[in-house]
Amino acid sequence: MHVLIINGSPRVKEYSNTDKIIARFTEGLAENGTTFEQYEISDRKQWDTIRDAFYKNTDIIIALPLYVECIPGLLMEFLETLTPKTDGTRLSFILQSGFAEGIQLRCGETYLEKLASYLGCTYMGTLVKGDNFGIRFVGAETREKITGQYMQMGCEYARNGGFTSEECRKFTGPEIFPAPVRLLVGLMFRTAAKKNFIKVAKEWGCTKPLDYRPYQ
């Protein structure tokens, strides 16, 4: 099998968490002899090539980060330039996000199922997983812990041609955290994480407080 993989993140390849996920995922694909070609939506110069590849290929994965509960605007802009297919193309999605609970990706997942039919493709499932905020900030060992799990899913895809298996469903992890964990995470965001956000903002040259509301 040969798969077209489109990275739908608006972040350039070097800084894209989705790219790091794809890198490990495709190692799993390769184990079963599946080949692939990959393109980035963030690089507008590639859009003509991606469109050609979309029309030419019949096994396609769009890998995307959740941006404000749904799909990134730049990806949407690209998708609107496509004409629906009629050749029985199988379309799957890798949907990943910052926050860990599966439940907050479900709305996006439902949309992606509809999107496959808008594009004239057969929907082959979505691999849903959060907890990926840190990929580009953490050291090599922690990054490997986060992204390494996707290699197994690459093997699953190569075996089944989609993400419809029970293994893929389980990959999401907890749908919702238990109440004590939710309280703890809330507390962490108001204290340690907030301190860290402020530090990162300062390093990036931000001079206003993070809750600054100039238009209020």
Ligand X SMILES: Cc1cc2nc3c(=O)[nH]c(=O)nc-3n(C[C@H](O)[C@H](O)[C@H](O)COP(=O)(O)O)c2cc1C
**Nearest to 65, CA basis, from 109, 96, 40, 99:** 96
- Residue from 47, 111, 133, 177 touching ligand X (CB under 6 A): that is 133
Supply φ then ψ for residue 105, to 5 degrees.
-100, -5
Contact 132, 104 (CB under 8 A): no
Residue 85 DSSP one-character state: P
- Residue from 99, 111, 177, 201 touching ligand X (CB under 6 A): that is 99
- Residue from 18, 89, 126, 172 touching ligand X (CB under 6 A): that is 18
Q: Of 40 and 156, which has the nearer Cβ to ligand X? A: 40
Helices (H), 99-165: 106-118, 140-160
Amino acid letter for position 105: L
Contact positions with ligand X (CB under 6 A) in 171-210: none
- Residue from 25, 39, 54, 67 touching ligand X (CB under 6 A): that is 67
As measured in angstroms, the least distance from the Cβ of 67 to ligand X is 4
Angle, in degrees to the nearest 10, between helices 179-190 and 192-203: 40
In Å, how far are 16, 106, 119 from 76, measured between CA atoms? 17, 18, 12
The DSSP element (H or E) to which 92 belongs, if any, is strand 90-96
Q: Of 4 and 64, which has the nearer Cβ to ligand X? A: 64
- Residue from 97, 126, 147, 172 touching ligand X (CB under 6 A): that is 97
Q: Of 17 and 92, which has the nearer Cβ to ligand X? A: 17
- Residue from 4, 6, 16, 162 touching ligand X (CB under 6 A): that is 16
Q: Which one of the spans 47-55, 130-138, 139-147, 156-164 is the region binding ligand X (CB under 6 A)?
A: 130-138
Residue 119 DSSP one-character state: T
Residues near ligand X, by CB under 6 A: 9, 11, 16-18, 65-69, 96-99, 104, 130, 132-133
